[in-house]
């Protein structure tokens, strides 16, 4: 049984895409509908900084075709302020919004700060809350402290079926091609300069082959390019889409 791959961009609201991806003079409220003509998924970065209103997320769904998937990022307050401690209230508020478009969601992204080391007791409690109350959501975790590369951290992710985010960047985010869940989740942040440098076609060929291997093993693969400036993410995503077509 082969899995499914979805490839998109980390968001769609970029003014410098005007004339590159969006026609000049296109109104920003129309960007998502245009984006969804080329890609079938996107990350929602705005939820990391501030939770959108229910009406807002419902309106996003109205602008995209059936089958399009959004991957929202968990609140920065939970990951960077609370540092995963006492997650109950923050998770309730987050899922209280996104439960209204649940059938349109891909994995929920948890992005941790570089300062947050792996502490098993805290992480296990966080995962337990997710398992007990939000088990029907898929979760992907992007850690940026080297301690998360330890075997114990990976084992805990596997125990709770939470995807380790394979995070490719030129600044040394912890990198490991570890598969810890049914879902495989990749983020590309830029090979040299964060968010604005372009990946080579040769590297895309490498990841295309890796993705095919994961798909053949039955995994669903989600890929997002976060090197968004100057249209680099668009070019890289289109290249990888081509390389992973049947």
Domains and CATH numbers, the chain: 5-243 (3.20.20.410)
Confidence label for 196 from pLDDT (cuts 50, 70 and 90): confident
Q: 220, 4 in Cβ contact below 8 A?
A: yes
CA 220 to chain centroid: 13
Euclidean distance between CA atoms 26 and 12, whole angstroms: 13
pLDDT digits (tens, 9 = 90+) for 166-186: 999 877 789 999 999 999 999
pLDDT digits (tens, 9 = 90+) for 113-159: 999 999 999 999 999 999 999 999 999 999 999 999 999 999 999 99
Over 90: is that where the pLDDT of 192 sits? no
Q: 43, 109 in Cβ contact below 8 A?
A: yes
* φ, ψ at 99 (rounded to 5°): -65, -25
C-alpha gyration radius of the chain = 17
Task: State what percent of residues in the chain have pLDDT above 90.
Answer: 92
Work out the angle at residue 72's Cα, subtended by the Cα atoms of residues 231 and 205, and round it to the nearest 5 degrees: 45
- The pLDDT assigned to 237 comes to 98
Residue 146 burial (CB count, 10 A): 13
- The pLDDT assigned to 194 comes to 82
Euclidean distance between CA atoms 17 and 19, whole angstroms: 6
Q: Is 230 left (phi over 0), alpha (psi -120 to 50) or beta?
A: left
CA 113 to chain centroid: 15
pLDDT digits (tens, 9 = 90+) for 83-124: 999 999 999 999 999 999 999 999 999 999 999 999 999 999
Euclidean distance between CA atoms 211 and 220, whole angstroms: 9
Distances (CA, A) of 226 to 103, 188, 191, 192, 194: 24, 6, 11, 13, 8
């Amino acid at each position: 049984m082969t899995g499914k791959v979805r490839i998109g961009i980390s968001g769609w609201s970029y003014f410098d895409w005007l004339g590159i991806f969006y026609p000049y003079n296109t109104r920003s409220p129309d960007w998502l509908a245009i984006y969804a003509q080329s890609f079938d998924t996107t990350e929602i970065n705005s939820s990391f900084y501030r939770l959108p209103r229910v009406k807002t997320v419902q309106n996003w769904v109205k602008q995209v075709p059936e089958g399009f998937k959004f991957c929202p990022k968990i609140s920065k307050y939970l990951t960077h302020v609370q540092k995963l401690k006492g997650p109950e209230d923050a998770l309730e508020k987050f899922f209280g919004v996104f439960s209204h478009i649940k059938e349109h969601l891909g994995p929920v992204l948890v992005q941790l700060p570089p300062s947050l080391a792996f502490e098993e007791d805290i992480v296990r409690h966080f995962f337990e809350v997710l398992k007990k109350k939000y088990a029907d959501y898929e979760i992907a975790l992007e850690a940026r402290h080297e301690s998360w590369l330890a075997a114990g951290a990976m084992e805990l992710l596997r125990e709770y079926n939470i995807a380790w985010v394979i995070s490719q960047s030129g600044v040394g985010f912890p990198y490991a091609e570890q598969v810890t869940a049914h879902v495989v989740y990749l983020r590309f942040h830029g090979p040299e300069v964060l968010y604005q440098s372009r990946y080579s076609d040769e590297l895309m060929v490498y990841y295309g082959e890796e993705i095919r291997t994961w798909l053949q093993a039955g995994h669903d693969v989600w890929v997002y390019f976060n090197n968004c400036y100057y249209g680099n993410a668009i070019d890289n995503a289109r290249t990888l889409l081509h390389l992973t077509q049947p």
